[in-house]
Structure 1
Amino acid sequence: MKLLYVKGSPRGDSARSAKVAAAFLDAYRAKHPDAEIEELDLWQAALPEFDGDRAAAKLSFFGDAAMNGDQQTAWDEIVKITSHFAGADDFLFTVPMWNNGIPYRLKLYIDIITQPGLTFGFESETGSYGLLKNKRATAIYSSGVYAEGLPKGFGTDFHSTYFNEWLDFIGVKDVASVRYQPNMLTTDPEGTLRAALDAAKAAAIR
């Protein structure tokens, strides 16, 4: 069994989500002592830009012109990164809210690995369907201003709605969402942290 821990925050161990992720990992290791755990820091990883060659390579699967040499090289790189992702059984993501959405490095990674024939298929009659099977994911959603139930001036949750929809799109159906979203109006910050830690541990051993 392999767990891929994808770090969406550039703040390392000082990120709000890091403590919650650590609790998940401790419980996961206790539950699965023989599992391989790999960390992927998106802010240190060498991710290619999703440029014209890569976009053209992707669109070739939808009836555009066949790939030329440069596009084939770009596609081979995408296949390598995507195959590495798809090789995991479980996923742990830290997903901080940035401007109501997700960080751009996480979005870039999603754009790289969301590919026809690799993570999703497409039928002309019924549309897209996910290709990843029997995978599990845990997403730790963090923010410092937004919290559920607050007025719109504190933000709108497009980060979890988008991210959960993406997981479903590629076929990951077993998803646990853990929220750690204390802000200036939180009356019990320590209780909020404890709840998030408990939720992370439960997600790890589910």
Structure 2
Amino acid sequence: MTRILYITASPRGPVSQSGKLAEAYLDARRAQQPDVTIDRLDLWRADLPEFDGDKAAAKMTFFGVGDMDAPRQSAWDQVTAVTERFIRADEYVLAVPMWNGGVPYKLKQYIDIITQPGLLFGFDPENGYSGLLQGKTARVFYTSGVYAPGAAAKYGADHHSTYLDWWLNFIGVTEVETVRFQPSLLTADPAGDQMRAIERAANLPMQMA
């Protein structure tokens, strides 16, 4: 049975443009594979721990800096509890609006919590970093109000998809499909563009089959 972790990075609930794309994909996916399990993670309602000094110190013990004492172990246990939910998934669905050229801070906080040595990546001085996830896939739904790929620099820059592409590859997720609704505001036909983006999202499971 396939387990999907659906991560929504928008606080806008049912009016989220990226959420509408992701939901269209998930509806089509359920129709294609009725026994799929969908675990929904709303980052704006989740109880995400702060990645504070104890957690940073616990992380550094994996690089030979300091010891894993009781406070650091307690902090690390919080990290692994959040990360295990991520690791259990076979597929990741991410609904990600663009905020100030990048990703919303709640998603960045989540990434900073779970992207840890021995959990999502390994490291050795000779070979550098290596992703530890294997056989995972990702479907990412990007939206932005004004920015569009190929648009003039006056309309913004993309540290949004470029960052998430890097991060997914960094942890070992190399099979990634994306759907964009960009821009959602600066367009002559926003309703039509939205419908076409939703159709692309809904057709994605058929393209994967």
Q: Shorter-chain-normalised TM-score: which range?
A: over 0.9
Give the SS at the match of 1:157: coil
Report the TM-score, using the length of structure 2 for normalisation.
Answer: 0.94
> For 1:109-163, what per-residue CA distance to the aligned partner results, in whole angstroms no more than 9, with x for missing partners?
0001101111111121010011111111011111111112222121101110001
Aligned partners of 2:184, 2:3: CA distance in 1, in Å?
A: 34
| Between 146-155 and 27-36, the greater mean CA deviation after superposition | 146-155
Aligned partners of 1:88, 1:202: CA distance in 2, in Å?
A: 22
Equivalent position amino acid for 1:131 in 2 = L
| Between 132-141 and 17-26, the greater mean CA deviation after superposition | 17-26
> For 1:70-94, what per-residue CA distance to the aligned partner results, in whole angstroms no more than 9, with x for missing partners?
1100101111111110100011001
Alignment partner, residue 123 of structure 1: 124
Residues 1:203 and 2:204 aligned together: yes
Equivalent position amino acid for 2:103 in 1 = I
Equivalent position amino acid for 1:158 in 2 = H
Shift of 1:184: 4.3
Aligned partners of 2:203, 2:80: CA distance in 1, in Å?
A: 33
Shift of 1:13: 0.8
**Unaligned stretches of 5+ in structure 2?**
none
Q: Is the 8 A contact 1:138 1:203 kept in 2?
A: no
- Classify 1:122/1:194 alpha carbon distance in 2 versus 1 (closer, same or farther; 3 Å): same
Equivalent position amino acid for 1:179 in 2 = R
Alignment partner, residue 103 of structure 1: 104
Give the SS at the match of 1:102: coil
Equivalent position amino acid for 1:176 in 2 = E
Residues 1:69 and 2:74 aligned together: no
Aligned partners of 2:200, 2:116: CA distance in 1, in Å?
A: 32
Aligned partners of 1:36, 1:57: CA distance in 2, in Å?
A: 33
Equivalent position amino acid for 1:146 in 2 = Y
| Between 14-23 and 101-110, the greater mean CA deviation after superposition | 14-23
% identity of equivalent residues: 52
Give the SS at the match of 1:83: helix
Equivalent position amino acid for 2:17 in 1 = R
Give the SS at the match of 2:147: coil
Residues 1:57 and 2:58 aligned together: yes
Give the SS at the match of 1:137: strand
Aligned partners of 2:102, 2:205: CA distance in 1, in Å?
A: 25
Report the TM-score, using the length of structure 1 for normalisation.
Answer: 0.96
Report the count of equivalent residues: 206
Q: Is the 8 A contact 1:92 1:139 kept in 2?
A: yes
